[in-house]
Amino acid sequence: MNQPTPPTISDTAEPERTATRWEKVLDDIESQNAVQVRVDLIGIDPPVWRRVVVPRDWNLSQLHLVIQAAFGWTDSHLHEFHIGGLTYCVNNDMDVNFGPSTFDAAAVRLSDFENELELAFDYLDDFGDNWTHKVVFEQWLTLASTPTQATCVFGERAPPPEDVGGVSGYADFLTAIVDKQHPDHDQLTAWYGGPFDPGLFNCLETDRYVRNALNPGKRRRPHQPRRKSRTHSVEGAC
């Protein structure tokens, strides 16, 4: 009678190596404590965008506050996320954004998407101006210490003023505010609160806003400062 062939060393080693690889993958996932996110404002050229790093265990409602801070928005309008055919919004806004595919943004953690490679979705702010942002989870990070705040690490150009009228209204605003001979120049300059430079991006100031995104007591500058030197127009990395 033929006896069963005992397993060879190579037969038993492969499952062990596979198990070891999966254990390492799981360890790497468990050690990840932040996600790097790029947010682009759609419809504006040259592009206005920000790159932020957000704690892994934060939720979509907290990400909303980070985006508001990164673009200088005042969190004074309705908003929603569109992810995979589903809509997520603040629980208090669900009476407006009703429907079977609408869910509470606070109930969804960013870590729920960590198996998605370069996840991309839309964030809509202000249903009047209709500002759409493209949000991309660029990579999951393992920082030396678990972050308790979000940070802004890169970006370009100034965000449009709040309530300017969306993409078309912003284009009209720029046309008037850069031309002192334009009939609406003085009115729009007074409405904004001073001169406006569309190329201005102060990363250090933006990072300060983002770090305090969850602190409603921290005020943000309502308009750009009067530029005394080129040091105010710092673009790119913080």
- Residue 47: give its domain's CATH number: 3.10.290.30
Task: Establish if 232 belongs to a structural domain.
Answer: no
Tokens in use for 232? 């105010």
Q: What is the mean pLDDT of the chain?
A: 83
Q: What's the pLDDT score for residue 76? A: 81
In a domain? residue 207:
yes
Q: Quote the pLDDT of residue 24.
A: 46
Asked whether residue 167 is assigned to any structural domain, the reply reads: no
Task: Mark 148-187 as b/e (b = at least 16 C-beta within 10 Å).
Answer: ebbbbbbbbbbbbbbebebbeebeebbebbeeeeeeeeee
The residue among 29 and 183 whose pLDDT is bigger is 183
- pLDDT beyond 90 at 120: yes
Band (pLDDT 50/70/90 cuts) for residue 77 is confident
Asked if residue 91 is part of any domain, the answer here is yes
CA distance 160 to 171: 9
Under the banding of pLDDT at 50, 70 and 90, the label for residue 129 is: confident
Whether the pLDDT of residue 75 is over 70: the answer is: yes
Joined tokens for residue 21 = 């690889």
- Could you tell me the two tokens for 96? 């407006």
The reply to whether 53 falls in a domain is yes
| β 151-156/86-89 pair status | unpaired
Answer yes or no: is 236 within a domain. Answer: no
> Range with the lowest mean pLDDT among 15-19, 62-66, 150-154?
15-19
Q: What pLDDT, on a 0 to 100 scale, did the predictor assign at position 126?
A: 83
Residue 133: enclosing H or E segment and its boundaries? strand 131-141
Q: What is the pLDDT of residues 213-222, one digit of tens each?
A: 998 766 655 5
Q: Would you say residue 54 has pLDDT above 90?
A: yes
The answer to whether residue 87 sits within a structural domain is yes
Residue 64 lies in domain: 33-158+200-224
Given a cut of 50, whether residue 231 has pLDDT beyond it is no
Least confident of 29-33, 177-181, 202-206: 29-33
> Look-up: residue for tokens 């300017």?
164
The answer to whether 182 and 196 have CB atoms below 8 angstroms apart is no
Calculate what percentage of the chain has a pLDDT beyond 70: 74
Question: How many domains, the chain?
Answer: 1
Task: Check pLDDT > 90 for residue 139.
Answer: yes
Query: Does residue 187 lie in a domain region?
Result: no
Check residue 164 and give its pLDDT.
Answer: 92
